[in-house]
Amino acid sequence: MKRHLFRLLLGTALVALLGSASAQTVRVGLAEDPDMLDPDLGRTYVGRIVFASMCDKLFEITPDLEIFPQLASGYEVADDGLSITIDVRPGVVFHDGTPLDADAVKYNLERSKNLPGSNRASELAQVDAVTVVDDDTVRLDLSEPFAPLIALLADRSGMMISPAAAEELGEDFARSPVCAGPFQFVERVAQDRITLERFEDYWDADAIAIDAVEFLPIPDTSVRLANLQSGDLQIIERAAPTDLGIIRDDPDLTLPSAASLGYQGITINIANPEQRDDPMATDPRVREAFELAIDRTVINDVVFGGEFIVGNQAVPPSSPWYVDDYPIAERDVERARALLDEAGYDRVAFELMVANNPQSVQLGEVVQALAGEAGFDVTVRATEFATALDLWEQGDYDAFQVGWSGRLDPDGNIHSFQTCEGNLNEHGVCDEETSRLLNEARVTSGFEARYELYEEAAMRYLPNRHVIYLYHQQLFFPHTASMQGFDAYPDGIIRFQGVTVD
């Protein structure tokens, strides 16, 4: 962390000597280092932030969550809902100069479905075939109507990479990604920086006024803020809520924010890669006792200064998709102890994996203290975030404090995690009825009908507590006053269209 601070301060001195040549470089402080820079394989929130500068999508959203075409120029859904025809924006080229045409879109969607290990496969499960109609038109034939599809194509499933580069680089694509966004990849130094430079042939070049973007992973919130205040960074993500007073009082900083679409919670390993035999995995009464032992309001107040939103579901209480009939549990230590006694345990020990940043560690310690009063011996294991995701995927964990940055459609927050076939089902729970309900919600139109399906599914997976939802973030993006034109989005993604730096 000190190394980052020193290097950034040194960088400022060099910029002063070099004059205005680097004045249009924006340096972004990230809370973690992203995982693989491949839209089909990537899993991290910070990875989505980097992708937004490199990889345009078929569709995009406004800060008010309206969807509009980006690399697409329009689309039409068949009357029976079984096909969608997408017009591809003409004249777009990838960073390697190859054209983005209907063949490239077909390649990308088929890669997302079929690439081994693709985290997008379940998002596009209902896409049976992609047909090139002509150079600028593709048709997606569906196995059944699929309500969330356009929303999914406004995220990583809709990001377009160069087929030529993907074929040439193969498994090494993530080390040198080639997309069709405003900035092209220059270099990556793991745990240190990712550097992008402006792509001169970008299709919407008039919207981009800066020359380069550099992303720097700095887990310590205090160091991120110090570098922002000194001007060595222009913007940071996930400022510590306890620092918001300092930021608000600094006339050289601006603090835009948006309520997150996502959630944070604790995932408990039940059966990944196979059924486990520890108390947390085998007895739902133990998991219920654990939830009753913790206090969401205390976590929010102590760790986040009361700035976040307490919750107990994959969507926040303000969402129209929130299930009111499943209220947030109040802390009840006496009931928690009674449940442990009923299950035959005096004390239950397990390891809670958290990201190795101060906020996550503090959250783990608060959970540790609260749960300890009810009979849980929690060991907090701080782990570099990308490594933690690998361990999560491999099933090498007891419980993991992890979240999701959120999607427009509730399907994006629930399906991949709660269905048997979901790409992000790392707890290992498979309930066929839950899967049936969530799959039916994908093919059902109309809010009321879909809500009933999500409600019925929630009443099955929420009481099982293999994921214990805790809170929803208020997203803060403090930046220097010299940076103009930035908008905060509820999906938490940093976009540089329309941004300028004095």
Give backbone dihedrals phi and psi of 69, rounded to 5 degrees, phi first: -70, 140
Token pair, residue 326, equals 């499943």
Give backbone dihedrals phi and psi of 337, rounded to 5 degrees, phi first: -65, -40
Please tell me what DSSP assigns to residue 313: S
| 190 burial level (CB within 10 Å; 0-12, 13-18, 19+) | exposed
Instruction: Assign domain 59-165 to a CATH class.
Output: alpha beta
**Rg of the Cα atoms in the chain:** 23
Instruction: Say if residues 272 and 395 touch (Cβ distance below 8 Å).
Output: yes
Half-sphere exposure (Cβ direction) of 38: Cα atoms closer than 13 Å = 23
* Distance in angstroms (rounded) separating the CA atoms of residues 195 and 218: 15
Instruction: Say if residues 474 and 309 touch (Cβ distance below 8 Å).
Output: yes
Stretch (H or E) spanning 484: strand 483-484
* Distance in angstroms (rounded) separating the CA atoms of residues 435 and 438: 5
**What is the model's pLDDT at position 6?**
36
Stretch (H or E) spanning 245: helix 244-248
Residue carrying the six token digits 């839209």? 39
* Distance in angstroms (rounded) separating the CA atoms of residues 331 and 312: 13
In CATH, what is the architecture of 263-472?
A: Roll (3.10)
* Distance in angstroms (rounded) separating the CA atoms of residues 219 and 385: 10
Give backbone dihedrals phi and psi of 354, rounded to 5 degrees, phi first: -135, 160
Stretch (H or E) spanning 309: strand 309-310
* Distance in angstroms (rounded) separating the CA atoms of residues 439 and 195: 40
* Distance in angstroms (rounded) separating the CA atoms of residues 434 and 423: 15
| 114 burial level (CB within 10 Å; 0-12, 13-18, 19+) | exposed
Give me the DSSP letters along 267-282. Answer: EE-SSSSS---SHHHH
Instruction: Say if residues 291 and 329 touch (Cβ distance below 8 Å).
Output: yes
CB within 8 Å of 20: residues ≥ 6 apart:
none
Helix, coil or strand: residue 59:
strand
Q: Which residues are 74's β-sheet partners?
A: 87
Give backbone dihedrals phi and psi of 85, rounded to 5 degrees, phi first: -100, 125
Report the DSSP pairing between strands 474-476 and 257-259. antiparallel
Furthest-apart CA atoms within the chain: distance in Å:
71
Instruction: Assign domain 2-31+182-258+476-501 to a CATH class.
Output: alpha beta
216-245 burial, b at 16+ Cβ within 10 Å, e below that, comes to bbbbbbebbbbbbbeebbbbbbbbbbbbbe
* Distance in angstroms (rounded) separating the CA atoms of residues 248 and 253: 7
CA angle 128, 112, 263 (to 5 degrees): 110
Determine how many CB atoms are found less than 10 A away from the CB of residue 249. Answer: 8
Token pair, residue 252, equals 């050289």
Instruction: Say if residues 44 and 54 touch (Cβ distance below 8 Å).
Output: no
**pLDDT tens over the chain, length 502 residues:** 434 443 444 343 333 333 334 458 999 999 999 999 999 999 999 999 999 999 999 999 999 999 999 999 999 999 999 999 999 999 999 999 999 999 999 999 999 999 999 999 989 999 999 999 999 999 999 999 999 999 999 999 999 999 999 999 999 999 999 999 999 999 999 999 999 999 999 999 999 999 999 999 999 999 999 999 999 999 999 998 889 999 999 999 999 999 999 999 999 999 999 999 999 999 999 999 999 999 999 999 999 999 999 999 999 998 999 999 999 999 999 999 999 999 999 999 999 999 999 999 999 999 999 999 999 999 999 999 999 999 999 999 999 999 999 998 999 999 999 999 999 999 999 999 999 999 999 999 899 999 999 999 999 999 999 999 999 999 999 999 999 999 999 999 999 999 999 8
Token pair, residue 218, equals 């700095």
Give me the DSSP letters along 178-240. Answer: -BSSSEEEEEEETTTEEEEEE-TT-TTGGG---SEEEEEE---HHHHHHHHHTTS-SEESS--
Q: What residues does each domain of the chain span?
A: 2-31+182-258+476-501, 59-165, 263-472
